[in-house]
């Protein structure tokens, strides 16, 4: 059985290898990657179909760097779709040109063209990921980013023997872009995916999966680091390993206070690093992932599996399944989330903004609009503060940097136009959403608190919100309506989790804080692709500061044009 992973070994060979690296690259290195966007026939679940890939791989190649490195990824687009790649969670300090969301920070790379994403990895180490950031193409165009600590800096937890990347995803038997088009015609969501996957493979609970099961080999008594990434389009996922507990040590490339758990909850866009000790009777054990869904919608309990296999155990042994929380287990989800804390050590302090310059309150709404051209006569839609975001025709960052007028407005409201009982009785209509490319302007270096409030417009649902260009601290979270008089007193301002994607609980709220010290245009959106495509997105314009290192860098020469 094939084993993939990265060894940490003190064998003489590896010692010499690392010693060699040490002597030649004490300074930050330049790491170059070539990404060829190409269509390839791939088969899963008894079906073969052409998919868009990077270098013909699904999932795509891992970007492997060290903190402090400069990275250049030359992306050549040989597919028939426009393309852009986002380096999810990398801060891209002053360098939105390399961030990647199509029409937000760049025009897409057109078929036949290429663009080099050129960025520094500064002040971050851990697991992130990259994905296509245009339409639904990230279904097959995604991969891991592993940022090792600086040379000579150990992890703040026991050194693992070896590490594995675990990418959770979704698979459609048909062309996803076609499914989206069909859905839009009807005014409905596209067909749900046909399987969940672990490293691109659904595992034996799905048909024709004999060849399509990922397996990782472990040795008894050793400790392993798993870098778990949720690359699914529309599902928050529970993850567990039969017979083994996991110790969470990092989320979204930020170290956490370690805690041990039987299962994880990972939202789309989020990453979680865990230590796993191979301390059980040598055998084969299933790793499993399946959706968490506590909204009153259809329950999806299709489970992706992979195998944790002790060395020497034959493939004929049938593994046992782990105990995963029930698909609608809200209390597990809330309890798990409440255990996440920043490490907040001397080396890795949690710099939580204690004073807030700018208070923002955004309602998350789903809705239904009349649609004369849709087969149903209506169309599902989504909004923040009742505004459904309209994608511009050129990149917003260019429009901002070159001062091109009439591309966007900067009057995104700081609070909803009409307050209402957000999570009260279901309201069947939306409150009259308007369309617009409206951004919120933020003064350089100001501190921002944003409360994201779910609403019962159409239905409550949990929403993984992702902010580009910045990490934020999740200082508070609750069920029901946010109470500005009482809830702030309960905030954790000492060691709240720092991340780039937060799950706003179903029918609840999340409060995040960040310092706007990264000038540029930064996208913020629900990482459920379905909701993003319905307009559940907006962007911040963080203004330049006065100092020499406080303004947006000039754009690269090969920046694509629209």
d(CA 394, CA 401): 12
Tokens standing for residue 454: 């779910």
Grouping H, G, I as helix, E, B as strand and the rest as coil, residue 284 is: strand
Determine, following the binding rule CB under 6 A, whether residue 463 of this chain makes contact with ligand C2O. Answer: no
Determine, following the binding rule CB under 6 A, whether residue 88 of this chain makes contact with ligand C2O. Answer: yes
CA distances from 437 to 280, 486, 508 (A): 55, 34, 26
Determine, following the binding rule CB under 6 A, whether residue 269 of this chain makes contact with ligand C2O. Answer: yes
Residues 8-47 that bind ligand C2O (CB under 6 A): none
Grouping H, G, I as helix, E, B as strand and the rest as coil, residue 488 is: helix
- Compute the least distance from the CB of residue 510 to ligand C2O, in Å: 17
Determine, following the binding rule CB under 6 A, whether residue 499 of this chain makes contact with ligand C2O. Answer: no
Beta-bridge partner residues of 224: 162, 276
Determine, following the binding rule CB under 6 A, whether residue 87 of this chain makes contact with ligand C2O. Answer: no
HSE of 461, CA atoms in CB hemisphere, 13 A:
26
Determine, following the binding rule CB under 6 A, whether residue 227 of this chain makes contact with ligand C2O. Answer: no
- Compute the least distance from the CB of residue 497 to ligand C2O, in Å: 18
Determine, following the binding rule CB under 6 A, whether residue 133 of this chain makes contact with ligand C2O. Answer: yes
Chain residue whose CB lies nearest ligand C2O: 88
Tokens standing for residue 505: 């609980």
Number of Cβ within a 10 Å radius of residue 86: 27
- Compute the least distance from the CB of residue 85 to ligand C2O, in Å: 10
Among 525, 531, 540, 560, binds ligand C2O (CB under 6 A): 525
End-to-end Cα distance, the chain: 47
- Compute the least distance from the CB of residue 214 to ligand C2O, in Å: 22
CA distances from 555 to 88, 118, 325, 400, 442 (A): 20, 11, 47, 12, 21
CB-nearer residue toward ligand C2O: 142 or 341: 142
Backbone angles phi, psi at 62, to 5 degrees: -85, 135
- Compute the least distance from the CB of residue 97 to ligand C2O, in Å: 15
d(CA 36, CA 72): 14
d(CA 415, CA 417): 6
Distance of CA 163 to the CA centre of its chain: 20
Q: Provide the pairing of β-strand 70-77 with 114-120.
A: antiparallel
CB-nearer residue toward ligand C2O: 101 or 505: 101
Determine, following the binding rule CB under 6 A, whether residue 91 of this chain makes contact with ligand C2O. Answer: no
Q: Given the rule CB under 6 A, which of 43-51, 72-80, 297-305, 521-529 is the region that contacts ligand C2O?
A: 521-529
Q: Given the rule CB under 6 A, which of 39-47, 286-294, 457-465, 519-527 is the region that contacts ligand C2O?
A: 519-527
Grouping H, G, I as helix, E, B as strand and the rest as coil, residue 476 is: strand
**b/e burial code for range 351-376 (CB count within 10 A of at least 16 → b):** ebbeeeeeebbbbbbbbbbebeebee
Q: Given the rule CB under 6 A, which of 77-85, 188-196, 432-440, 523-531 is the region that contacts ligand C2O?
A: 523-531
Q: Given the rule CB under 6 A, which of 331-339, 397-405, 510-518, 522-530 is the region that contacts ligand C2O?
A: 522-530
Among 161, 196, 244, 466, binds ligand C2O (CB under 6 A): 466
Determine, following the binding rule CB under 6 A, whether residue 523 of this chain makes contact with ligand C2O. Answer: yes
Determine, following the binding rule CB under 6 A, whether residue 503 of this chain makes contact with ligand C2O. Answer: no
- Compute the least distance from the CB of residue 229 to ligand C2O, in Å: 10
CB 154 within 8 A of CB 347: no
Residues near ligand C2O, by CB under 6 A: 86, 88, 101, 131, 133, 269, 466, 468, 523, 525, 527
């Amino acid at each position: 059985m094939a084993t993939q992973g990265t060894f940490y070994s003190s064998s003489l060979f590896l010692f010499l290898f690392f010693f060699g690296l040490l002597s030649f690259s004490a300074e930050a290195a330049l790491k170059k990657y070539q990404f060829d966007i190409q269509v390839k026939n791939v088969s899963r679940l008894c079906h073969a179909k052409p998919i868009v890939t990077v270098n013909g791989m699904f999932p795509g190649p891992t970007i492997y760097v060290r903190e402090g490195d400069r990275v250049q990824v030359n992306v050549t687009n040989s597919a028939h779709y426009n393309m852009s790649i986002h380096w999810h969670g990398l801060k891209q300090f002053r360098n939105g040109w390399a961030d990647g969301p199509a029409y937000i920070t760049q025009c897409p790379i057109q078929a036949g063209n290429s663009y080099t994403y050129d960025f520094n990895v500064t002040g971050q180490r851990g697991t992130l990921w990259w994905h296509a950031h245009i339409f639904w193409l990230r279904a097959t165009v995604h991969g891991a980013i592993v940022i090792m600590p600086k040379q000579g800096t150990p992890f703040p937890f026991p050194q693992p023997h070896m590490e594995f990347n675990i990418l959770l995803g979704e698979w459609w038997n048909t062309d996803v872009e076609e499914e989206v088009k069909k859905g839009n015609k009807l005014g409905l969501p596209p067909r749900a995916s046909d399987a969940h996957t672990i490293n691109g493979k659904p595992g034996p609970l799905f048909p024709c999966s004999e060849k399509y099961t990922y397996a990782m080999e472990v040795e008894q008594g050793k400790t392993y680091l798993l870098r778990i990434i949720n690359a699914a389009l529309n599902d928050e996922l529970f993850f567990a390993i039969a017979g083994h507990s996991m110790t969470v040590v990092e989320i979204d490339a930020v170290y956490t206070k370690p805690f041990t758990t039987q299962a994880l909850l990972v939202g789309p866009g989020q990453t979680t690093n865990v230590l796993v000790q191979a301390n059980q009777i040598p055998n084969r054990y299933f790793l499993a992932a399946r959706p968490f869904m506590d909204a009153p919608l259809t329950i999806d309990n299709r489970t992706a599996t992979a195998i944790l296999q002790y060395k020497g155990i034959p493939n004929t042994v049938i593994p046992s399944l782990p105990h995963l929380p029930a698909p609608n287990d809200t209390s597990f989800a809330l309890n798990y989330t409440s255990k996440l804390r920043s490490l907040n050590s001397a080396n890795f302090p949690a710099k939580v903004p204690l004073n807030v310059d700018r208070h923002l309150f955004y309602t998350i709404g789903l809705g239904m609009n009349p649609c004369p051209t849709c087969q149903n006569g209506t169309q599902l839609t989504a909004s923040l503060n009742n505004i459904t975001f309209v994608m511009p025709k050129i990149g917003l960052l260019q429009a901002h940097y070159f001062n091109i007028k009439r591309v966007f407005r900067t009057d995104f409201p700081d609070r909803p136009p009409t307050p209402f009982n957000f999570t009260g009785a279901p309201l069947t209509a939306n409150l009259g959403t308007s369309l617009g490319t409206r951004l919120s302007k933020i003064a350089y270096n100001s501190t921002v608190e944003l409360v994201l409030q779910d609403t019962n417009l159409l239905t409550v649902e949990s929403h993984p919100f992702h902010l580009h260009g910045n990490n934020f601290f999740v200082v508070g979270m609750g069920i029901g309506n946010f109470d500005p008089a009482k809830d702030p007193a309960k905030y954790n301002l000492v060691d709240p989790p720092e991340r780039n994607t937060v799950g706003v609980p179903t029918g609840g709220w999340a409060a995040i804080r960040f310092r706007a010290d990264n000038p540029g245009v930064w996208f913020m959106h629900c990482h459920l692709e379905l909701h993003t495509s319905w307009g559940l997105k907006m962007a911040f314009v963080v203004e330049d500061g006065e100092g020499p290192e406080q303004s947006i860098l000039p754009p690269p020469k090969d920046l694509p044009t629209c």
